[in-house]
Amino acid sequence: MKKVIILLFLTSVVYLFSIKDEIVIPKESIRFRIIANSNSIEDQALKNRIKSDLIDNILPNTVKETYSSSEVLIAESIPKIKEALNKYNVNYRIDYGNNYFPQKQYKGITYPKGKYKSLVITLDSGLGDNYWCVLYPPLCLVKEDNNTTNIEYKSLIKEVLNNFNI
């Protein structure tokens, strides 16, 4: 009997630690993606500079309390995004609408492929690795500390989602 109780206890503990508290991107969300020209060091560095520029200077002003207000502000910010991109002397294409996203794995969570409301910037031929995140709710704008654990990161994401009543 003692062995059965110990076995049940150990099974319960293993089960409790294996449960994942998954973060799911809400249905009403707006994704953001920048696709680099290629995977060369230069093209990936350019993609990262552009991403930082947009996330630091333009995109925070596009996120409001609701999906629809954020949607309008993102659309209205496209001229500013073009102005920022023109500084980099690179050919680009901006698509704002329903765009295809391949399946992604991030922080242990799989996000399915599909068409999603999104702002997609393709640099030159767009054959390189891409950066993606979620603009609304503003998960892109959460500054991640490289020393943060998945649990802390998930808690921060949950806090953002809760603040936007999603």
Average pLDDT over residues 57-81: 90
Query: What is the structure's pLDDT at 8?
Result: 43
pLDDT beyond 90 at 121: yes
The predicted pLDDT at position 73 comes to 92
Read off the pLDDT of residues 19-55 as tens digits, 9 standing for 90 and up: 445 556 778 889 999 999 999 999 999 999 999 999 9
Residue type, 42: E
Give residue 161's pLDDT.
55
**CA 47 to CA 43: how far, in whole Å?**
6
Return mean pLDDT, the chain.
Answer: 78
The domain locations on the chain are 29-163
pLDDT of residue 7: 44
Mean pLDDT across 119-146? 82
pLDDT on residue 142: 60
